[in-house]
Homo-oligomer: A and B are copies of this chain.
Amino acid sequence: MREAHQDAVARVSEERLWRRHMEMARIGAIPGNGVNRAALSQEDIAARKVLIGWARDRNFEVGVDAIGNLFVRRPGHDAAAAPVMTGSHLDSQPRGGRFDGVYGVLAGLEALQAIDEAGVKTRRPIELVAWTNEEGGRFPPCTMGSAVYTGARKLEDFLDVKDNEGVALRNALAQTLAATPELAQRPMKTPVAAYIEAHIEQGPLLENAGKTIGVVTGIQGLRWFSIEVFGKTDHAGTTPLALRQDALRDAVYVIHALHELTRDATDTVRFTVGRMLVTPNSTNSVASHVLFSVDVRHPDPVTIDRLGKAVEPTARKAAKQCTIKVTPTLRDDPCVFDPGVISAVERASNELELRSMRLPSGASHDAMYMARICPTGMIFVPCEKGVSHNEAENAKSADLAAGARVLTAALLELANKDE
C-alpha cells in the first residue's frame, strides 16, 4: 500500500464512526435499540440532513437525483475521470436495527473524511451515495433508488406505489426533495468507474468462522410477487361455508401450497410471506380481499428461475373459491461481482492483516444494480448472531472500523489504479 494511502487508512476513526452510528440511531429510534426509519418519511429526511451537515463540514459537494439518491463528492485531479463510488442506504425496516444500510453510508463518509484529512490526491473523484428506499418496507419493491439510477427500472413505474396508509410514493418523494431545496440536481446513470458497498453481513457466517471481513463474491437471485385473492364479503354467522368466497381462507391454502413448493432439505431456498393486508378485516365478516407478498431467493440461476415460474400456477391451483391475481414485483437473477473489485477488497484486508473470507450475500443490496453498470464489489462485517431486520441487530465497533479501513484502502487503490 502506498504511504499516502496508509496515512489515510490510519485516519479512519473508530470513535467518530461509532458516535455517528449512535447519532443516526436516535432518528426513528424504537424500543429495544431498534430503528424505524421508513424511506421518504420525516425520519429519513432528518437522517439525510444530518449526513448533509457532516459532508458540508468537510466542504464536500452534495447533490441529489430525481428519486432522492443523495451524492457526496470529493473531487479528483483528472476532471474527465469517472468517480469511484461507495455507499448504501439510510432507510430501515419498520422494526430494523442500527447498522443495516447506515453502516455503508457512514463507513463511506469515514473513508472520504480520512482521505481528505490525510490530504491524499486521487485521480478519480470518490463519491458517497445514500440510495433511496433500499428496504422496500414502506414502498415495495426494495433497492428502488439504485434500480432507477442504473436504468434497470423507470421512476414513473414507482410513483403510484402506495404505503399501508395509502400515501403515494410520488407525494412522499416530493416532500423529501422539498426538504433540501438547496442541493444540486444530479442526472441518473452518470459513468461510474467502480462501486464498493460496505454492509453488515446480516447472516451468521463471519461470526461462526471468526472472520472480520467478508469479501463478497455476489448476491443470490430473488423473485418477489404480490398475490391478491378476490372473494366476497358475507356475514360470518349466517353464510354456509359452501356458499362463501372467503379470501382469507384461500390465501391460507395458497400460502400452504407455496410452502410445499419451496420445501428444501438443504435449507438453501429462502421463502417468506412477510406482508398481508385483509379487507374488510373484521372478526364478523368473511374477507373479500387479501393481498400478500411472496419473497423467494436462491443462489442458483436455474433453481430461482424454476421456483419463480412455479409461483403463479401453484397459487392458481391452490385457490378453491376465489379468483387470484399474481403480480411479479421484483426479479433479480443471481449476480456475480467483478474479480478486480473482489481482489482489491481482499488485498486491502490482507495488507491490514484482517481475517477475511469470501462469501456470497444472502440479502439483496444496491450493489446488485450497480454491478450492471460498473465493476462492483462488497465488504461485509460480522453482526451478532447474524440477526438483522430486527431491533436486536448489533455489531462491534472494532469490526465496523476495520471494514471502513478496508473500504478506504480499496477505494484509494481503485481511484488511483490507472495513474
Contacts and interface: CB of A to CB of B under 8 A. Distances in A.
Interface of A: 93-95, 135-137, 140-142, 164, 201-203, 220, 222, 224, 232-242, 246, 248-249, 252, 255-256, 259, 264, 267, 269-288, 293, 295, 297, 361-364, 386-390
Contacts of A255: 248-249, 252
A402 B142 CA distance: 59
A97 to B, nearest CB: 10
Given A235-B363, A363-B235, A280 B241 contact: no
A140 B240 CA distance: 23
Contacts of A288: 95, 390
Contacts of A220: 237
A386 B238 contact: yes
Contacts of A278: 274-276
Given A235-B388, A238-B386, 14 more contacts: A94-B280, A94-B281, A95-B279, A137-B283, A142-B283, A224-B283, A234-B388, A234-B390, A235-B389, A236-B297, A248-B255, A275-B281, A283-B293, A284-B295
12 contacts: A93-B284, A235-B390, A239-B386, A240-B270, A241-B269, A242-B267, A249-B255, A272-B286, A274-B278, A274-B281, A275-B278, A284-B295
A107 to B, nearest CB: 19
A37 to B, nearest CB: 13
